[in-house]
Structure 1
Amino acid sequence: MLDVQISKSQWKKPVCITFGDAGEQLVKGPHDALALMTEQWPFIRGAEFVRARSLCRAALDGRKTVEEARVQFEQAICEARVSSN
């Protein structure tokens, strides 16, 4: 059942992010985004980061859509000045 929930919470188009030495990361949805923001995010004090983390959690709980979370995640990418597709 967890696999079904995760597949339903994936974005229509994944986001590919490049972190310096860590190379490219393919982020498929809010679950991946939360893991990345928790473990590797370079700028955790920004307002866009905080909103993205909140929206990703809300999307996983069903309170927001996964695409709303994706849009906010992309804002956090811009804020952190990380390269993406």
Structure 2
Amino acid sequence: MPTKAWSQPIKIQIGFGSRRVEGPFQALIHLAEHWPRRTGPRFVRAGIACKAAVEGRIDAEDARQEFLEAAKEVGLYLH
């Protein structure tokens, strides 16, 4: 199972702290366990893309972009 890291981690806010998400596998964990709203097209696309990247079906950077957009949508992305 490929676990390729992204070129740049994405920093997200979880509760009162922050976490660095460094690749699609970590992103899937955060989508499943820490996401505030598990609905909507960005959430769904991020989940599909990250799973596909973990399975080696798409480039990890494409999954990064989908995860980034999903994080922005729910206000978790930290600049």
TM-score, normalised to structure 2, is 0.91
Structure 2 counterpart SS, 1:11: coil
> Given the alignment of the two structures, is residue 15 of structure 1 paired with residue 10 of structure 2, yes or no?
yes
Which structure: greater helix fraction?
1
Over 3 Å off, 4+ runs: none
Q: Cα deviation per residue 1:51-75 (whole Å; 9 max; x = unaligned)?
A: 0000000001111100000000011
Q: Which structure carries more relative contact order (alpha carbon 8 Å, separation 6+)?
A: 2
Asked whether the 8 Å contact 2:68–2:77 carries over to 1, the reply is: no
Asked whether the 8 Å contact 2:25–2:54 carries over to 1, the reply is: yes
Unmatched tracts of structure 1, length 5 or more: none
Unmatched tracts of structure 2, length 5 or more: none
Q: Distance in 1 between matches of 2:34 and 2:25?
A: 14
Cα shift at 1:43: 1.1
Identity of aligned residues (%): 37
Q: Cα deviation per residue 1:30-59 (whole Å; 9 max; x = unaligned)?
A: 000000111000011011000000000000
Q: Distance in 1 between matches of 2:8 and 2:57?
A: 20
> Aligned residues, how many?
79
